[in-house]
A and B are shown apart, each in its own frame.
Chain A
């Protein structure tokens, strides 16, 4: 089985930086994905890490450490529209390369 843990809720201020952590345990790690989901909408793909290190994409960056079973999503220059849930998902080659999702982190950005 797999365990994926991420905080349930976070609050941050507009213009600031926030880091959302995700830890996982899996037998056949084959990639970690971050999705953004606004209330009542479909999850949308943000980033993908399969090797250790930082992947930067505009205001969003994602980091992975396979040895520690750890990833984080970094959001810079926060905007009100960034208020959403952020879902961490792990792909496991020993589970048919299926994605297992964490419970999501609900981020509230305040003025």
Chain B
């Protein structure tokens, strides 16, 4: 597609449930990033994929968070046993080898 696509746009879940968030990057972009943005706050880096290299997971806040990128394209961010503090907007971005990042509209996650 023309831009970065994320789904779902909104997700409401109960505490303790697992959720999966999806990101379709811009075609041909080798780098993919996940960020978290709490209300009124800046972007918190979570994880970074570059080509076939091992991902940089240094920003993941706990072992409940994981992400994968299949075939160098689509990525899924999984949060297990969700907690209320996981409520935030999860943003995905892609770029050509670390150049300008282009963002998707995000998934707004609400954990009740």
Contacts from A to B (Cβ < 8 Å): 33, 35, 41-45, 48, 87, 89, 91, 96-104, 106
Contact = CB atoms under 8 A, between A and B. Distances in A.
Interface string B76-99: 000000000000000100000010
A87 B33 CA distance: 17
A31 B84 CA distance: 35
Given A33-B100, A99-B45, 7 more contacts: A42-B103, A44-B103, A45-B102, A87-B42, A96-B56, A97-B98, A101-B42
Contacts of B48: 96, 98
B106 interface: yes
Nearest to B104: A42
B41 interface: yes
A62 B48 CA distance: 27
B60 interface: no
Contact of B101 (A45, A96, A102, A106): A45
Interface string B35-50: 1000011110100100
A97 B98 CA distance: 7
Nearest to A6: B42
Give the residue among B41, B103, B105 with the most A Cβ atoms within 10 A.
B103
